[in-house]
Chains A and B, each alone.
Chain A
Amino acid sequence: MSDFIDLVLLAMLALTGLRIIFLKDLFAVVMLFGIYSFLTALIFINLDAVDVAFTEAAVGAGISTVLMLGTLALTGREEKESSHSSILPLIVVFITGAALIYGTLDMEPFGNPDNPIHKHVAPRYIEDSPKEIGLPNMVTSVLASYRGFDTLGEVVVVFAALIAVLSLLGVPKEGQQKAPASGLKSHQVLRVVAKLIISPIILFALYVQFHGDFGPGGGFQAGVIAAAALILYALVFGLPNAVAVIGPRFLKFMAAAGVLLYASVGFFSMYKGGNFLDYNKLAADPVAGQHYGILIIELGVGITVFAVMLSIYYAFGNQVERSNIQ
């Protein structure tokens, strides 16, 4: 049954991808891309990757779509007729595709437990991590503890992306004049429903943040979900109102604080006599130390991701409001 679902979902994904090529209306392209992301999330669930599915649904379908729509509001929604001839690209794509398909013939059969990928490293994570780290969710154990250094790098990359976006687009000023068309004043149903669901979304984000050790979830997902709640608020009630709740300057401070919190756990474990990010030294009992370490660094990740996603949205939203005023 699982195989059959896989077949159908992947076929739907291929059709969605194909349709994106031919559509000229960019608004429809972005909406199709949202559908594409949700289909991908479903496929991830079917392939047992629940944590990844969670992230894809929140990030791909949520944040990416909003940012692309924000860009379309500034650049226009019609794509002009292409000046490229389509023969040469087609040939290139077909030859590359044929070479890759030829390559897949040597790949190990899908889902076989004897594949080489399942023979190294992974058995250790699966057998030892519940004892060494004490968490049922192996993805969190690997993400936050075994590959903690790697994850620190990823958080720094996200932070660097924020710096790049802010230096390109600038920061919205607090208390600036309101654009006349700010928010959706005529949509009463939307306003009432948004008010009802924003607080449950934030509550859910906190649940995902602190329950990530035991079930699917963690700092990355929680940060994105919390940012989505405030983005919804900004979309429905206008950017200036959202800026009044959490200002961009405070967000910049939060983004840096999250990275610093993560790194300081590393330095603290060095101070305790261990290696960088060696949580075993954080408490007398190594497993308890791992618990503290993972809880704190996941919090750092959550804070940074939340602040970065929301700041990026503010930067785009501010551009849209400015172009509305002019």
Chain B
Amino acid sequence: MNFILDHYNYWIVVFLMMTGFYIVITANNLVKKIVGLNVFQTSVFILYISEAKVSGGTAPIVTEGATLYSNPLPHVLILTAIVVGVAVTAVGLALIVRIKRAYGTVEENEFKKMDDAI
């Protein structure tokens, strides 16, 4: 049981990562691909934050009576990564809007066919 609890977070992270990966490689629709990428990205965030956790510790804000704090460094890295992540997602969505305008579709196989026809 202890072995499972020790690795449970990592296994869920791998599961989510593979879910995101599967969506990215099978989905034809570009918006769904972006959702898949975001799922993948979030799984990495959870991996970092799981690493930072200390059992019996508390959030890294100094409080009276607390001696054990979780590791603040991964929190900083992921905090900025989330904001940069949404900015990059916005760029991806903007590209999708332009693809829709140029091809009239956002299904990967359909505009690939149009490209081949040219």
Question: Contact residues of A with B, CB < 8 Å?
Answer: 3, 6-7, 10-11, 13-14, 17-18, 20-21, 26, 29-30, 33, 36-37, 40, 43-44, 47-52, 55-56, 59-60, 63-64, 67-68, 70-72, 74-76, 79-80, 82-84, 86, 89-90, 92-94, 96-97, 100-101, 104-105, 107, 109-113, 115, 117-118, 121-122, 125-126, 130, 136-139, 141-143, 147, 150-151, 154, 157-158, 161-162, 164-165, 168-169, 214-216, 220, 224, 305, 308-309, 312, 315-316, 319
Q: Are A138 and B61 within 8 A (Cβ)?
A: yes
Specify the chain B residue showing the minimal Cβ separation from A18: B19
When the two chains form their complex, are residues B62 and A51 in contact, meaning their CB atoms are under 8 A apart? no
CB of B30, distance to nearest CB on chain A (Å): 8
| B19 and A101 contacting across the interface, CB-CB below 8 Å | no
Given A47-B49, A168-B95, also A14-B16 (CB < 8 A): yes
In the bound complex, CA of A79 to CA of B28 (Å): 8
Most buried by B among A47, A74, A169, A220: A47
Contact residue among B35, B69, B80 (Cβ-Cβ distance under 8 Å from A150)? B80
CA A82 to CA B28, docked complex, whole Å: 6
Cα separation A63 to B86 with both chains bound (whole Å): 8
Using known A-B contacts A48-B53, A56-B82, A79-B28, determine if residue A139 contacts B75 with beta carbons closer than 8 Å: yes
Give the distance in Å from the alpha carbon of A44 to the alpha carbon of B70 in the complex: 12
Residues of B within 8 A of A162 (CB): 87
Contacts of A97 in B (CB 8 A): 14-15, 17-18
B70 contacts A52, CB within 8 Å? no
A151 touching B80 in the complex, CB below 8 Å, given contacts A14-B12, A165-B91, A169-B98:
yes
**Which residues from chain A contact B29 at a C-beta distance below 8 Å?**
26, 79-80
Does B51 lie within 8 Å of A117, measured CB to CB? yes
Residues of A within 8 A of B46 (CB): 10, 40, 43
Report B73 CB to chain A, min CB distance, Å. Answer: 6
Chain A residue with the shortest CB-CB distance to B25: A89
A218–chain B nearest beta-carbon distance, Å = 8
- Category for how many chain B residues contact A: 35 or more
Q: Are A67 and B93 in contact (CB under 8 A)?
A: yes
Q: Determine if B54 and A111 form an interchain contact, defined as CB atoms under 8 angstroms apart.
A: yes
In contact, A143 and B52 (Cβ under 8 angstroms): no
Instruction: From the candidates B26, B31, B34, name the one contacting A86 in the complex (CB within 8 A).
Output: B26
Specify which of A21, A52, A68, A121 lies most central, judged by the most chain B CB atoms within 10 Å of its CB.
A52
B45:A67 contact, CB within 8 angstroms: no
Cα A315 to Cα B93 in complex, Å, equals 11
A59 to B, closest residue via Cβ? B86
**B110 CB, nearest partner CB in chain A, Å:** 8
Report the minimal beta-carbon distance from B87 to chain A, rounded to whole angstroms.
3
A214 CB contacts on chain B under 8 angstroms: 61
Give bound CA distance, A137 to B69, whole Å: 11
Q: Give every chain B residue within 8 A of A3 (Cβ-Cβ).
A: 5
Residue of B nearest to A161 (CB): B87
Whether B100 pairs with A75 at a CB distance below 8 angstroms is yes
- Given A63-B86, A169-B97, the answer on whether A47 and B70 have CB atoms closer than 8 Å is yes
The one of B8, B18, B23, B109 in contact with A10, judged by C-beta atoms closer than 8 angstroms, is: B8
Interface residues of B in 53-67 (CB under 8 A from A): 53-63
Extra 9 A-B pairs, beta carbons < 8 Å, given A40-B42, A49-B78, A161-B90: A17-B39, A36-B39, A55-B83, A75-B31, A83-B28, A104-B7, A104-B11, A141-B72, A215-B61
Is the pair A20, B59 in contact by a Cβ cutoff of 8 Å?
no
Enumerate chain A residues within 8 angstroms of B62, measured Cβ to Cβ.
130, 136-138
B7: min CB distance to chain A, Å: 5
User: Contact between B80 and A74 (Cβ–Cβ < 8 Å)?
Assistant: no
Chain A: CB-nearest residue to B62: A136
Q: Is the CB of B73 within 8 A of A121?
A: yes
Query: Can you list 8 A-B pairs, Cβ within 8 angstroms, ordered by A?
Result: A36-B39, A44-B49, A110-B10, A113-B54, A122-B73, A137-B60, A168-B91, A214-B61
